[in-house]
Structure 1
Amino acid sequence: MATCPAGHSSDQDDFCAVCGLPIEAPQQSSPEAVEESPSPTAVTCPSCGASNVAEALFCEACGFDFTGTATPAEPARPQWPSLGEPAAAPETAAAIPTPPTEQPAATKPTVEWIAELWIDPDWYTAQGSTDPMPSVGLPDIVPLVKESNLIGRLSHSRGIFPDVECELDSGCSRRHAMLTHDGSRWWIEDLGSANGTFVGPAAGPLPAMPIPQGRVELTAGQRIYVGAWTRIVIRKATREEQDAFAVE
């Protein structure tokens, strides 16, 4: 194994495998006195400042190329994201709040017509009912706001909810009669009631015969008789009644 001028052991005979110095062939020493060659001068690496032997091709510390090749570029350091404050989100235009749209208040239909429900002692006597008649007093006032208004008695089990309710009069059927109008005229129609529907004038004797099948037009002042004691009068609502039903 050869030895380079720097003292490295090399398995190559031409250049040192460690520092790259050329390895000279050993000269035959003559018996004459051999001149001592001056020791090589150390070379300082311009890149890292390490001391290298003279004639070294590369710096042993950092690998700097002494032959004139450019200094190896320093590897780029990885760019890590900053751990400071998070990046601000892009500014967006602030949404302008839209004022809420005011919904118009629901208005109740104007009550133009009403039904008066009276307890009529004369009709009760004529019917000969065995049920006790309630005390006579002021009439019940029922607004008529639909084109068709059912006269009868309430029944939750059968789903019957009359518009003109004769609750206490057991002589009135659940679905007794139907009142209809076209805005100016009124009709009454019996719905197959047990005791019939009667129509009579405001003055004079009580009606004796029920109305026939089908619609019968009512004239001004006529009364409707149903059940054992109920008398119904259809008339125009007064201004006070319109105002009263409008605020309910």
Structure 2
Amino acid sequence: MSVTCATCGYDNNPADAEFCDACGAELQTAAAATPAASEPQTSPLDSTPEIVSIAPPAPTSPPLNSEPEATVTSETPTPSSETTTSARLVAKQPNAPQPEFPLNSVALVGIFDSDSGPVDIDLETFFGGETVSRHHGEIYPDGDNWMVKDLGSTNGIFIKPSGQSRFGARITTPTALNSGDELAFGKVQFIFQSP
């Protein structure tokens, strides 16, 4: 049995797929399309409980997204080095391995691999970490805005704008973030917060 995407009409998605293989839109299975009268319809990405507030962890080591000084060789400032705005990704997952990641400059999101090396935000130990590619995406400042872009990941990056009830389609171009937006790297979800 295959699932047809309501967004693009692609009808060859596996029955257990959560996202369309063609366009990356969230799929609704037959069970989700005809819920029992007493059960509210929810999306797999919306089923994780919201975290209202998280106390910041005590600093024990330098931030994961700091770049070694040896790699900064440019004398011309880049847009990411001109901004002083800091932001953070707060995990939606209860008891997350790391409750939040501070963002001060370009941050590579993915999982550590001995061939490709470390990443700034390592999601391997998070629930759903198996859906995260080695170099999944990148979050970076661009002037006064923060942007996110997919680096060719297998399972995509999805954004649920603040105040919306559903995640949008998989992003295909660098996309601006607003404080309160929810981000999903594969199945690992965060809330983006900026001052």
Higher RCO (Cα < 8 Å, 6 or more apart): 2
Q: TM-score, normalised by structure 2?
A: 0.49
Q: TM-score, normalised by structure 1?
A: 0.39
